[in-house]
A and B are shown apart, each in its own frame.
Chain A
Amino acid sequence: MGRITLEGVQKSFGPVHIIKGADLDIADGSFVVFVGPSGCGKTTLLRLIAGLEDVSDGKILIDGKNVVNVPPAKRGLSMVFQSYALYPHMSVRGNIAFGLKMAGLPKDEINRKVEAAAATLNLTPYLDRKPRELSGGQRQRVAIGRAIVREPKAFLFDEPLSNLDAALRVQMRLEVTRLQKQLGTTAIYVTHDQVEAMTMADKIVVLNGGKIEQYGSPIELYQKPANLFVAGFIGSPKMNFITGPDAAQRGAATIGVRPEHLNIVGDGQGWPGKVMVAEHLGSDTFLYVDTGAVGTLTVRCAGEKGVKPGDQIALQPDPNRVYRFDGSGNAIAA
């Protein structure tokens, strides 16, 4: 079991208010991603749950029990650090076994568990190597092995893939997701990468300035962003925001249109503009169009479009996919 509930959790470092009251209910076995720009408090929130920082106010419940005064090791959680934080003087075996050794398990049981964890993570051939003899991806797997071997109530991941190269990151992303589903253990994963968040999460927590902006499934966040911040943060390329008469006409202070919901239309319709940059990815074409009246719009066209910089085109949003926001940035219900 690993249900984690936050009730009015606050954290200040001296006069700096980092977490301004977080309420959250994380269901047992779910994969929850904390995402947000740097400095938004996502890592602090994770460290509060881990017990590496003390809360200034509020409650953290693990399976219904308030743990704010329980030391980290007794919370039954395990953590994977961004820097891996492997013990450099211990072998892979020693690293994975350390938590079990501290828990005072008998030797043969430790060996059995370490070997099982190593097999799951394809680390068996490396068990007697030192961390410095491993590649980045292997080190990351050792860190994960150290986390799973203790059979915790929940895994806490602090940007675990940010030190890996792009190709390896995609591969490890899959591995982590597969492993979590296989073990069925609750996972909280911190990242600043919204693609990671969208692909891995059952539910995403979008944080900004120490506040939870929205909590929901990836598709919910994409389809029904609660406010301007979430709308702009989730989705790639970023949503286009338009203010002024075009927004007022639709009864909003700001309207948002995702690049994939802008269509190229014939002359005399929509917003005319000049293509500034065209990025041809093969599967998609990204156009950056200067419309003058509504600013620069990003357009995502499926497939290859034979558009060159300097071309004059007109853009029209899909009328069912226009997001409306009021003066304070909150979404207006359709």
Chain B
Amino acid sequence: MARKVTARHVAISTLAAWLVGFLIFFPILWMVLASFKTELEAFATPPSFLFFHWTTENYATVQERSDYLHHALNSVIIAGGSTLIALLIAVPAAWSMAFSPTKRTKDVLLWMLSTKMMPPVGVLVPIYLIYKNAGLLDTRAGLIFILCLGNLPIVIWMLFTYFKEIPKDILEAARMDGATVGRELIYVLTPMAIPGLASTLLLNLILAWNEAFWTLNLSTLDAAPLTTFIASYSSPEGLFWARLSAASTLAIAPIMIIGWFSQKQLVRGLTFGAVK
């Protein structure tokens, strides 16, 4: 028997969904609101929700004190660069594992995933020393390298699952139709893999953009991305909530906008293969 869906059920579940959505969104909303308050109002108890003196002075202060564009550019280069390199390495890797698996493919995949099980702080000291000796501290190249390595297992796993979903029959049909390996790649495989590639790229971009452990520890100024820029507003001499909120809002705005416009792709990517 099909489950009955009454209007009341729909109303309740809609309300519940909005409530959960609002709860998850609330911290971001609060941050944006706080960025328009004065430092005093940002601290006030009870806090005022919407009826306060709106001001943009925090944004001006932030812009005065630090170079937002410099950090934003670093973020773009580091997130974009690490994603691109990770994809360049992951595509052939996932490809060969999906289309010509060996006895050890599963083990290799698990081993890759297992590297994500270790907390990064466990290797902070050795990596820091290596970076120091190699002159990679506070360089964009150094950050691109470490973020690329960090995300590579996830990228390979995601691509592997996409490629596995491409039916072998279609490749064989292309072979019967006279496509060479190169043409099979251009005309059949790549177009079919594009949705998977796109969502992997987006997710990895977001992960790299928000990565805070390595970027905070391995950069100070020259290569510092937006995460370091935010962190510079939590200072030992006391927190300036309003200014910190303004900096955070500025830092997450670009990736939020990208995420908003590509949400369809992202959701499709993350639920891919869950339902046939």
Contact = CB atoms under 8 A, between A and B. Distances in A.
What class of interface size applies to chain A in its complex with B?
Answer: 20 to 34
Interface string A146-185: 1000100000000000000000000000000000000000
A323 B271 CA distance: 59
A102 B178 contact: yes
Contacts of A86: 170, 173
10 contacts: A71-B175, A72-B175, A73-B175, A78-B176, A83-B167, A85-B167, A87-B187, A88-B170, A102-B183, A146-B173
A126 interface: no
Q: Which of B169, B174, B177 has the most CB of A within 10 A?
A: B177
B172 interface: yes
A82 B167 CA distance: 12
Interface in B147-196: 167, 169-170, 172-179, 183, 187-188, 191-192
Given A85-B169, A88-B192, A52 B175 contact: yes
A83 B172 CA distance: 12
B177 A146 contact: yes
A77 interface: yes
Nearest to A94: B187
A118 interface: no
Interface string B54-76: 00000000000000000000000
B144 to A, nearest CB: 32
A89 B173 contact: no
Contacts of A71: 175
Q: Which DSSP category, helix, strand, loop or mixed, fits chain B's interface?
A: helix
B187 A98 contact: yes
Interface string B181-213: 001000110011000000000000000000000
A87 B169 CA distance: 10
A87 B170 contact: yes
Given A83-B167, A83-B169, A102-B183, A50 B177 contact: no
B179 A73 contact: yes
A50 B172 CA distance: 10
B172 A81 contact: yes
A125 B110 CA distance: 49
A72 B174 CA distance: 10
Contacts of A89: 191-192
Nearest to B179: A102
Contacts of A74: 178
B192 A98 contact: no
A103 interface: yes
Contacts of B174: 87, 98
B172 A85 contact: yes
Given A102-B178, A102-B183, A81 B173 contact: yes
Contacts of A50: 176
A99 B178 contact: yes
Nearest to B170: A85
A79 interface: yes
B176 A72 contact: yes
Contacts of A72: 172, 175-176
Interface in A25-40: none
A78 B175 CA distance: 10
Interface of A: 50, 52, 71-74, 77-79, 81-83, 85-89, 98-99, 102-103, 146, 150
A88 B191 CA distance: 9
A79 B179 contact: no
Given A52-B172, A87-B188, A99-B176, 18 more contacts: A50-B176, A52-B176, A71-B175, A73-B176, A73-B177, A73-B178, A73-B179, A77-B176, A78-B177, A79-B173, A81-B173, A83-B167, A85-B173, A87-B170, A87-B174, A87-B192, A89-B192, A98-B174
B191 A98 contact: no
B182 to A, nearest CB: 11
Contacts of A150: 177
Contacts of A52: 172, 175-176
A279 B169 CA distance: 41
A230 B217 CA distance: 75
Contacts of A73: 175-179
Contacts of B187: 87, 98
A71 B177 CA distance: 11
Nearest to A80: B173
A146 to B, nearest CB: 7
Of A74, A79, A103, the most chain B CB neighbours within 10 A belong to A79
Most chain B Cβ neighbours within 10 Å, of A74, A78, A89: A89
Interface string B8-19: 000000000000
A103 B170 contact: no
Contacts of A83: 167, 169
A86 B175 CA distance: 13
A79 B192 contact: no
A89 B177 CA distance: 16
A73 B188 CA distance: 16
B177 A102 contact: yes
Contacts of B179: 73, 98, 102
Nearest to A150: B177
A89 B178 CA distance: 18
A146 B177 CA distance: 9
A76 to B, nearest CB: 10
Given A87-B188, A88-B192, A89-B191, A99 B177 contact: yes
